[in-house]
């Protein structure tokens, strides 16, 4: 799927915040955004990432993170956990995955989630990690 202009701007904003710890494939960001239905079928996902879910109009629905270093389907498994809730299945259309380097600590992954949620103001979720305005994301 091709992200809308609004989604692209928000993804670029998230990437700007997380750049020091990102682990993006050669294909770049477009390869990291797909429909939730398609993502549920992928066989391998990052073990650590921040993910952004989108509604059908390109609205940011949710920002979350996962850090399960021994699970090669970590992000997919976490998204599936969320989709057990019928209201999320109804509202979530696409997901953008922002994988972090394998050496990134859980603390840094959570800080990334907090910064991205602060910037994108998702419609759902309120238990995001607190951020320190004086401490931007730095390499693990």
- pLDDT per residue as tens digits for the range 60-104: 999 999 998 888 888 888 888 998 999 998 999 999 999 998 889
Given this model, what pLDDT does residue 27 score? 66
Position 133 in a domain? no
Position 128 in a domain? no
- Tell me which of 5 and 130 has the higher pLDDT: 5
List the 60-67 sheet strands across, edge first: 33-35, 94-99, 48-54, 60-67
Instruction: Say how many domains are in the chain.
Output: 1
Position 31 in a domain? yes
Which helix (H) or strand (E) covers residue 7, if one does?
helix 5-18
By the 8 A CB rule, do 33 and 1 touch?
yes
Cα distance between the two ends of the chain:
31
Is pLDDT at 19 greater than 90 in this prediction? no
Given this model, what pLDDT does residue 72 score? 83
Given this model, what pLDDT does residue 31 score? 59
Mean pLDDT of 116-120: 95
d(CA 76, CA 68): 11
Position 130 in a domain? no
**Containing domain of residue 52, as a range?**
5-120
Is pLDDT at 29 greater than 70 in this prediction? no
Position 110 in a domain? yes
Question: pTM for the whole thing?
Answer: 0.89
Q: Report the candidate in 108, 106, 99 with the shortest Cα–Cα distance to residue 72.
A: 99
């Amino acid at each position: 799927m091709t992200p809308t202009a609004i989604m692209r701007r928000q993804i670029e904003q998230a990437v700007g915040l997380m750049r020091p710890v990102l682990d993006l494939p050669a294909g770049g960001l477009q390869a990291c955004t797909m429909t939730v239905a398609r993502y549920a079928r992928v066989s391998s996902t990052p073990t650590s990432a921040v993910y952004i879910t989108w509604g059908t109009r390109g609205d940011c629905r949710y920002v979350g993170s996962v850090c399960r270093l021994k699970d090669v389907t970590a992000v997919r498994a976490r998204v599936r956990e969320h989709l057990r809730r019928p209201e999320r299945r109804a509202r979530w259309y696409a997901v953008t995955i922002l994988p972090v380097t394998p050496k990134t600590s859980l603390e840094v992954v959570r800080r990334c989630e907090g910064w991205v949620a602060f910037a994108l103001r998702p419609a759902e979720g309120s238990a995001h990690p607190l951020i320190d305005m004086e401490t931007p994301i730095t390499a693990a």
